[in-house]
Amino acid sequence: MLRARDLVEARLYPSEDDVIRDALRYLLRDRPDLRISLALYRYEHEDISLGKAAALAGVSWAQMKQILLERGIQPRLGPETMEEAEQEVSTLRQCFEE
């Protein structure tokens, strides 16, 4: 079985953490269902914004809102703090730049 350490010892990655980060990035890229499930989990348990959940899921803000409603999760609309508002603006800018 391949281990993260094998890739480090072969000097393909500087550390096991780098191997794991890269592997997770590719896994989530290839499995949109996992991205959406992770975004839903974080939205419910970590209090991330709708915009941040949408960015994590790889969908638009409107699509994320619809996904939440379909799963019986009431969206929290509108930022509660200035920091949250700034984060949402930043996330939306990133979505439109892509």
Query: What tens digit of pLDDT does each residue of 42-90 get?
Result: 999 987 889 999 999 999 999 999 999 999 998 987 666 888 888 888 8
Contact call for residues 62 and 31 (beta carbons, < 8 A): no
Q: What is the pLDDT of residue 98?
A: 60
Instruction: Give the rounded percent of residues in the chain with a pLDDT score beyond 90.
Output: 71
Residue 55 · residue 88 · CB < 8 Å: no
CA dist 69 and 33 (Å) reads 16
- Cβ-contact 27, 38 below 8 angstroms: no
